[in-house]
Amino acid sequence: MSPLSISATDPILQLPEGTRNYITPGGHARIRAELEQLLRVDRPQVVSVVQWAAANGDRSENADYIYGKRRLREIDRRIRFLTKRLDLAEIVDPLTRANTDQVFFGATVTLCDQQGLESTYQIVGVDETDFARGRISWVSPLARALLKSRAGDTVRFQSPAGWREVEVLRIEYLDIES
């Protein structure tokens, strides 16, 4: 899925009412870089194509013009979305965490499930979620169950397959890169 196809109304991007938009420094840098790319490179290129296409006459059957205008709307929508997310973002650096024996935002947690399989997850902001890289949103059921737990604790959470239990093996606070 291209970043431009993500909308602000996608359920994965919604924050619970009254909560803050926590984000790691790496996530903030990634969003900022995408916004800069859109503002400084992508949008000017598309504007140039649209201007060129408009100068070619009949716009009703001008594919370059029609596609360019559509692409420009997508870029502008994404710029508004990213700008709003950055305005609402509260950067939380996991490396500055004083209490590292409990799970909080930014923790890297190694778990063992009931079948003995180990997995590691980083608890990040909703705009940084990437399950393939082991990054789960702090508002996800697993992350919410893990919050404030310690190594050795067993936590129970609701997954799509039903209720599951996992044991917390290790808690670390590492630099979460973009």
Residue-level pLDDT at 178:
57
Structure tokens at 39: 């503002």
- The set of long-range contacts for 71-80, using a CB threshold of 8 Å and a minimum separation of 24, is 71/46, 72/43, 72/46, 72/47, 74/4, 75/4, 75/38, 75/42, 75/43, 75/46, 76/43, 77/4, 77/7, 78/3, 78/4, 78/6, 78/38, 79/35, 79/38, 79/39, 79/43
Integer angstrom CA distances of residue 94 from 24, 132, 141 = 7, 21, 20
Residue-level pLDDT at 36:
98
Residue-level pLDDT at 2:
37
Neighbours of 76 (CB within 10 A): 13
Quick check: 136 and 122 in contact, CB under 8 A? yes
Residue-level pLDDT at 146:
98
Two domains, one topology: 20-91 and 94-172: no
One digit per residue, the tens of pLDDT, for the chain of length 178 reads 334 334 444 444 567 677 778 999 999 999 999 999 999 999 999 999 999 988 887 777 788 899 999 999 999 999 999 999 999 999 999 988 888 899 999 999 999 999 999 999 999 999 999 999 999 999 999 999 999 999 999 999 999 989 999 999 999 998 877 5
Residue-level pLDDT at 92:
94
Residue-level pLDDT at 62:
83
Residue-level pLDDT at 5:
37
Instruction: Assign domain 94-172 one CATH number from 3.40.50.300, 3.40.50.2300, 3.10.50.30, 3.30.110.40.
Output: 3.10.50.30
Instruction: Assign domain 20-91 one CATH number from 1.10.150.120, 1.10.287.180, 1.20.810.10, 3.40.640.10.
Output: 1.10.287.180
User: Would you kindly state where each structural domain of the chain is located, as residue ranges?
Assistant: 20-91, 94-172
